[in-house]
Structure 1
Amino acid sequence: MTKPITKITIVGGGTAGWLSALYLITFLDYKAGPDKPKCNITLIESSDIPTVGVGEATIQNVRETFKSLDLDETEWMTRCNATFKIAIKFVNWLGKNDVFWHPFNELPEVNGLDLSHYVVDKKLNNPDFDLQSYHKEVPICLAQKSPKLGTEDDYKGKLDYGYHLDAGLLATYLREKAISRGVNHIVDKVQDVNLTEQGFIKSLKTENHGDIEGELFIDCSGFRGLLINQALGEPFTSYADSLFCDRAIAIALPTDDEKDGINPYTTATTLSAGWSWHTPLYGRSGNGYVYSSQFLEPEQAETEFRNFLGEKASNVPARHLKMRIGKNRNAWVKNCVSIGLSTGFIEPLESTGIYLIEMGIQTLISCFPDQTFNPIFRNQYNRRITKFYEEIRDFIVLHYCLSQREDTPFWKANKNNSAIPESLQEKLEYFQVMSPNLDGFETHLLFEDYSYFCILSGKEYLPKNSLPILKYLDVKEADKTLENIIIDAQKMQSILPKHYDYLKELHQGKLENFRLLFGQKSRKPSALVTK
């Protein structure tokens, strides 16, 4: 009879550490039956090591994760100054003051074919056709509308949505929840790692609490990789040949939400050696410059970024961050699993940082070992995590490799870069012939056909010819579908509240005002619906 894991030790706090701790305590203890084995979870973090916390935007998947953890949406959103996110707006990626969008959505089918094929056909036959017109979210974003009426249950809205949030406040909130459910919290420094003769981690030597033992260790120590890299020597695989950005500058700015409103989208605007993010929170905005140190020194980057932000940023302090782009060869080694930045990092262009934490811990639950640490679980975990990272890497490279810009050395280098992953190169050859259909590609876990089409159409990388089968089909139904998208957007604009108004009522505990307005006097029990 094998012995179950009864002691888990997590090193590092932040979003990765505390989300891992909360997830583990919830599913191994909080929601487990009374006759199940008891699992003690300890998290060790140092008060001297700040969290990175620059990623303040999420994708829509986090709603299901937070729902499964029994987190009240109103409570955590108000605690973390969160706002809703319906899309990403990309500005000047062609170098023409252009704009394109990547909303949370999918396109309907017409005659058994994805609508994107008809959109391509329209563009090829009419160069003036607006490729952004099939996004019903765009006019709603521009009108600064909320994706929720206020009458819905938690994690349910009229549109699919993610969030913008304060990462530091989120870590604090998750910590409180995890401790309340039984996680043991130790504030101390890990000075050394004690290994067994077989190379497994036996215990952690701390400055003030002696040796802390465990059976399974979770490394959430960030870019340091204290356990996985430093103690166990797992090599790191860099993505620097295809992703040049390795530095970031972060500046938080106050906002006048009542006057200016709150955008329900993230903005990614290109600069000379990378791109700038703008994430609107309740009461402030998160702003950053992700750039390549090959092309700019930190002082040059900060000067450019402050000029971009304008006078409002002149006296605001900036944080400079170094980023380790890539991933460990293996995320699970011996009895140690790395999650978050200690596993790897890909620039936050598509807001995937928290998602990778979620996938790390959820995949661990599905591959959870006993004390024999059967390598089958470890190998399955490592294969899946590698696929997640490689798929996201390819999708981010897609934003750069199609660049035709030569206005700065950085953009010229991206245009001429030949180090495109083979897995992406295969897709690009396919996309020259027909719109994305990823069913035949092995790496397909997060980004759907629609996401690829958003970027490809925004970068003006379309098939050279219409899909041959369209010659045999009546396109009137596709025209009607496009018209219905516009009509649907107009209807939603007319009923959805302003984003700021919704959040103001949320913070003041007055969402009942919206419920009364729309004829629903009380909230029904929560149920997750993605749209």
Structure 2
Amino acid sequence: MSDRVENVTIVGGGTAGWLTAMIINTFINTFREGPAVKVTLIESPKIPTVGVGEATVAGMPSLMQQLGIDEAELFRRCNASFKVSVRFGDWAVDGRGKPFAFYHPFNFPGTVGGYNPAYHFNRFGPYGGDPSITDNMTANSALIHARKGPRALNGENYEKSIGYAYHLDAGLFGEFMRDVALSRGVQHIRDDVVEVFQDETGAVSGLQLEKGGRHPVEFVVDCTGFKSLIMKEVLKEPFISYGDYLLNDRAIPVQLPHRDPTKIEPCTRSTALGAGWVWRVPLYSRVGTGYVFSSAFRSDDEARDEFFRHLRAVGDLPTGAPDPDVKVIKMRIGRSQRFWVKNCVAIGLSNGFIEPLEATAIYSVEMAARWLVGHFPDKKGSPALANRYNGLMTSLYEEIRDFISTHYHTSNRPDPFWKAARYDCRLSESLQERLELWKARLPEITDTQDQKLFNFWNYLYVLHPKGFFKDRHFPLEGSIRHEHWQAFGRRLEERKAELLRTMPDHYQLLANIRGDEPLQQALNLDGLAKPVFESRASVRPTISVPTA
């Protein structure tokens, strides 16, 4: 008889709960010999389901493919679009004090003459006219400027010419995962947990449901969002704040119609403002945007006014349109001290949250669920499994925290918030060591080989545009040849030209995948296609940042 856990109870739905259910059910039961592990999700009918975010990272398509998801159906059900990069606008200023933009793409170049081509770029400069490191390494920004998609029309699911992630409606994504999970045997109970029972060891033994009575628990996953019903309120696990590393603690999210629904950028925008930054995520059906800011530098009203001025300046909120009705969300930045305690694992916002600058929320849910499967518990409650799991999750949170800290620490904006982020915020010892090392040589694979998400190229893409390596010269540059760099540049330009010639318009590609009839560019955009800004009271915000 197996000593493995045979019943898993998930408390809480939304993206965190249903994606966790999908991962556990798919990866444990698909080819399991013998009875399937029973997965039951208990979801309150009184709490509205809201998502953790609307942008994802490059590994998301692989997860969806492994889960057996029809990608075209994902696009239809979640109003998804493609994301091939993040555009960081105004995160630094040039020598004349003028803000500029740079890209953080999903693709990385190979070697040039056996060496990291960042050395060639640092020594010889651009091979062509564009001065940015990303344009000299990848084709991503070229596709973004032309609003091209990463796949040919009528291509197969998950087919790609360059790497991509998704923009998606997080609420609809949670519903999509729910429907697929239910079709594959996950049990769903719509009821409220009113009491949590513990045995003599402190482990969770059962849940008292408002209508359904007592529900026995063998192993439980807490996906109850910031409330953290089991991990925090019952098991009393301490919370470790990251407030001394990252200043932002508020968000103002809102949904807006497209300025032109036929022009959809295949990238997320992150634009720095005076006390934080604004995200812009273009879905097929609308735009999700919001201001992440620090309450130490802006009151709620000041932040709201600054955000609306920005929206009007970029045209997302036309002059004369009413101000959207928005809600200011408080964010608890940090993590649970442990993620697995007794027979409970917390996943999603119940275990922590880091501001969504690099769209890591859904990825964190994915990895938490993957690692739970990889360390699936036995009935004895092996401490070795829990200890290893807690170590992995701690290192993931610290990796994400440190990469986001790098964005702020290397900004040279003169605003008080940005100076405080640069000089007053704490840096981990490991990040300090890496930044000091990279003054002597460029980042390389050995510096980030223990990291799960952000490798040395991610750091290069963020550090180089900000002048971190300016006027620095490295001994390895004596080993590289200019002709190799020029040859690499010619091949990349040929690749860009091929992609620009063969890849379709992003909007047309999305319509093709969805099976929609594309709107014609020449169409009079009255009615459906024209953005309609309703009265202040009728515009509903999407709470897609702080809760799962």
Query: What TM-score, normalized by structure 1, do the two folds share?
Result: 0.91
Match of 2:309 among 307, 310, 318: 307
- Could you report, residue by residue, the CA deviation over 1:437-460 in whole angstroms, capped at 9, with x for unpaired residues? 141456422112211100001222
What does residue range 97-496 of structure 1 map to in structure 2 within 5 Å? 97-123=99-125, 129-134=131-136, 135-259=138-262, 261-310=263-312, 311-312=317-318, 314-407=322-415, 409-441=416-448, 443-462=450-469, 464-496=471-503
CA distance in 2, matches of 1:223, 1:42: 21
Closer, same or farther in 2 for the Cα pair 1:383/1:486, shift >3 Å? same
For the residue of structure 1 that corresponds to 2:271, the secondary structure is strand
CA distance in 1, matches of 2:177, 2:130: 49
2:41 is equivalent to residue 38 of structure 1: no
The equivalent residue for 1:92 is 90
What is the letter of the counterpart of residue 87 of structure 1?
Answer: S
- Could you report, residue by residue, the CA deviation over 1:331-353 in whole angstroms, capped at 9, with x for unpaired residues? 10000001111111111111111
Question: What is the deviation of 1:147?
Answer: 0.3
2:91 is equivalent to residue 83 of structure 1: no
Match of 1:60 among 49, 54, 58: 58
CA distance in 1, matches of 2:285, 2:425: 43
Alignment check: 8 A CA contact 1:82 1:166 kept? yes
Task: Identify which range, 90-99 or 155-164, moves more after superposition.
Answer: 90-99
For the residue of structure 1 that corresponds to 2:92, the secondary structure is coil
CA distance in 2, matches of 1:365, 1:482: 44
CA distance in 2, matches of 1:347, 1:23: 24
- Could you report, residue by residue, the CA deviation over 1:384-416 in whole angstroms, capped at 9, with x for unpaired residues? 111111111100000001122222x21121122
CA distance in 2, matches of 1:245, 1:384: 25
For the residue of structure 2 that corresponds to 1:145, the secondary structure is coil
Task: Identify which range, 292-301 or 277-286, moves more after superposition.
Answer: 292-301
Alignment check: 8 A CA contact 1:332 1:382 kept? yes
CA distance in 1, matches of 2:52, 2:39: 27
Closer, same or farther in 2 for the Cα pair 1:459/1:133, shift >3 Å? same
Question: What is the deviation of 1:103?
Answer: 0.6
CA distance in 2, matches of 1:357, 1:149: 31
Question: What is the deviation of 1:4?
Answer: 2.1
For the residue of structure 2 that corresponds to 1:42, the secondary structure is strand
For the residue of structure 2 that corresponds to 1:279, the secondary structure is strand
What is the letter of the counterpart of residue 322 of structure 1?
Answer: K
Question: What is the deviation of 1:241?
Answer: 0.4
For the residue of structure 2 that corresponds to 1:193, the secondary structure is strand
Question: What is the deviation of 1:190?
Answer: 1.2
The equivalent residue for 2:544 is none
Closer, same or farther in 2 for the Cα pair 1:6/1:267, shift >3 Å? same
Alignment check: 8 A CA contact 1:274 1:289 kept? yes
Alignment check: 8 A CA contact 1:88 1:101 kept? yes
Question: What is the deviation of 1:52?
Answer: 4.1
Task: Identify which range, 418-427 or 44-53, moves more after superposition.
Answer: 44-53
For the residue of structure 2 that corresponds to 1:435, the secondary structure is coil
Question: What is the deviation of 1:42?
Answer: 1.2
User: Gapped runs of 5+ residues in structure 2?
Assistant: 519-548
CA distance in 2, matches of 1:229, 1:265: 36
- Could you report, residue by residue, the CA deviation over 1:490-518 in whole angstroms, capped at 9, with x for unpaired residues? 1100110000011112222689xxxxxxx
What is the letter of the counterpart of residue 90 of structure 1?
Answer: F
CA distance in 2, matches of 1:127, 1:491: 19
Question: What is the deviation of 1:213?
Answer: 1.3
For the residue of structure 2 that corresponds to 1:296, the secondary structure is coil
Aligned sequence identity (%): 39
| CA RMSD between the two structures | 2.0
Alignment check: 8 A CA contact 1:42 1:185 kept? yes
- Could you report, residue by residue, the CA deviation over 1:463-520 in whole angstroms, capped at 9, with x for unpaired residues? 6432213224322101211232122111100110000011112222689xxxxxxxxx
Aligned length: 507
What is the letter of the counterpart of residue 447 of structure 1?
Answer: F
For the residue of structure 2 that corresponds to 1:47, the secondary structure is coil
For the residue of structure 2 that corresponds to 1:231, the secondary structure is coil
CA distance in 2, matches of 1:418, 1:281: 34
CA distance in 1, matches of 2:307, 2:430: 34
What is the letter of the counterpart of residue 75 of structure 2?
Answer: M
- Could you report, residue by residue, the CA deviation over 1:155-213 in whole angstroms, capped at 9, with x for unpaired residues? 12001000000000000111111111111111121112111110100011121111111
- Could you report, residue by residue, the CA deviation over 1:352-389 in whole angstroms, capped at 9, with x for unpaired residues? 11100100000111111111111111111111111111
For the residue of structure 1 that corresponds to 2:231, the secondary structure is helix
CA distance in 2, matches of 1:122, 1:86: 27
What is the letter of the counterpart of residue 31 of structure 2?
Answer: A
Alignment check: 8 A CA contact 2:261 2:285 kept? no
User: Gapped runs of 5+ residues in structure 1?
Assistant: 512-531
Alignment check: 8 A CA contact 2:15 2:52 kept? no
